[in-house]
Copies of this chain bind each other. A is one copy, B any other.
Amino acid sequence: MTREQAAALNRVDPLASVRDRFVIPQGLVYLDGNSLGLMPRGAPERAEEILGQWSQRLIRGWMEGGWWELPLLLGDRIGSLIGAEPGQVVVCDTTTTNLYKALLAAADLDPGRTVIVIEEGAFPTDRYVAESVARRIGGRTRVTSRGRSVDDLLDDEVAVVVMNHVDFRTAEIAEMGSTTETIHGSGALAVWDLSHSAGVLPISLDHWDVDFAVGCTYKYLNGGPGAPAYLYVNRMHLDRAANPIPGWIGHAEPFLMEEGYRPAPGIRRFITGTQPIVSMSLLDAALDVYDGIGMSELRAKSVALTGLFIDLVDERLGLEVASPRDPQRRGSQVSLRHPDAAGVYERLVAAGLQGDVRPPDLLRFGFAPLYVSFTDVWDAVDVLAGVLEA
């Protein structure tokens, strides 16, 4: 395939113009939207608006500027991208803290079970939090061997299973519906980390009866560096599940400032403290980018981009592809194996291709379908070819 043929794919891409909603640095091929998404063009204006509210309306900005409702408003907006009906998602805190809250809240629902199952190779934070929570509830973790399913580890001691929807190293997709059903079959609850899938893969949390889910918003959702995370609690648990880190904002009547804690009805109880409004608002601006875009067309473009990349890698580089070749099992990322991944990475950056690197030997490339073009894919492989030949 020639660059001209890749350009022809851009011309028939129904999402091609969405790229204009982002600021794209000159001369850079950016394949790291799975680490930090590009800045949407609407972000600076939104920041200015919030600073204007802060400086002029001050404390009254909480109500007049809508800051107070932002965690729930943004939660519902993200909910619409992950298959959650309104009232089950809140944006707040970090993914780490939300995972901790989800795991403890899930474990507390059935105190007779004290084992947390997690996969070998899960994102490190998920593993660390699972172990901390397991110790806290007087239990322990069980860890799958890499590549083995969790099924073998399920029994009536298992309280919760933590699953990564898309593997951060290889982009392999875990099948959410059937896995959740299997987990439920053993009487355990399922907590899914959507950090590497939300915004690029169709997800049906409600339909698949997922119990809890968490994720970050600075990767494919383009919320900006360290933008607040989200927590989904299925409405079947909302009446009984308790926030283990309860704060006044999650109280049923926060402004009464009562001595006794009474949780707010619904998902509001899971807001843990006062949230960073400027960073929250940039996420709000970033979610505007999704207006009018369907997840199935995004997924189709994502599959086309990663498929083209793998084809060109096979044709021109001959590097080992560490991601699934079956598009059904592959997220919006392709990882390549190279013994000097770290060295190659630095040379790629110098040559204008931003991917990233994960130890010991993976070069990772993310293909955010909102803004990555087919010529980006061609150019990336061209840069790779040049660097590897040199």
Contacts and interface: CB of A to CB of B under 8 A. Distances in A.
Interface of A: 23, 25, 28, 30, 32, 35-36, 38-39, 43-44, 47-48, 50-51, 54-56, 58-62, 67, 93-97, 100, 120-121, 123-125, 127-129, 131-132, 136, 143, 216, 218, 224-229, 244-248, 251, 255-259, 261, 272-280, 282, 349, 354, 356, 358-359
A45 B232 CA distance: 35
B358 A67 contact: no
Contact of A97 (B25, B93, B124): B93
Contacts of A97: 93, 97, 245, 272-273
B225 A277 contact: yes
Copies in the assembly, this chain? 2
A100 B125 CA distance: 18
19 contacts: A25-B58, A36-B59, A38-B58, A43-B54, A47-B48, A60-B349, A61-B225, A96-B272, A97-B245, A124-B258, A125-B246, A127-B259, A128-B246, A128-B248, A132-B245, A226-B276, A226-B278, A227-B276, A257-B359
Contacts of A278: 47, 224-226, 276, 278-279, 282
Closest 5 CB pairs of A and B: A94-B273, A96-B273, A276-B279, A96-B247, A225-B277
Contacts of A100: 244-245
B59 A259 contact: no
Nearest to A358: B257
Contacts of A67: 225-226
**Which of A59, A246, A272 counts the most B-chain CB atoms under 10 A from its CB?**
A59
A32 B55 contact: no
Contacts of A95: 273-274
B47 A51 contact: yes
A131 B261 contact: yes
A62 B132 contact: no
A125 B245 CA distance: 9
A195 to B, nearest CB: 10
**Which of A25, A58, A225, A358 counts the most B-chain CB atoms under 10 A from its CB?**
A225
Contacts of A247: 94, 96, 125, 128-129
A255 B357 CA distance: 10
Contact of A30 (B58, B127, B218): B58
A280 B371 CA distance: 27
Contacts of A35: 59
Given A100-B245, A132-B245, A51 B32 contact: no
Nearest to A100: B245
A279 B54 CA distance: 13
A351 to B, nearest CB: 14
Contact of A125 (B47, B124, B218, B273): B273
B273 A229 contact: yes
Nearest to A124: B248
Contacts of A226: 67, 274-278, 280
A61 B32 CA distance: 13
A216 B275 CA distance: 11
A387 B279 CA distance: 38
A245 B129 contact: yes
A136 B244 contact: yes
A216 to B, nearest CB: 7
B245 A96 contact: yes
Contacts of A218: 274
Given A28-B58, A124-B257, A277-B279, 15 more contacts: A25-B56, A36-B54, A36-B59, A39-B54, A47-B51, A59-B354, A94-B275, A96-B272, A125-B246, A131-B261, A225-B276, A228-B276, A256-B359, A276-B280, A278-B282
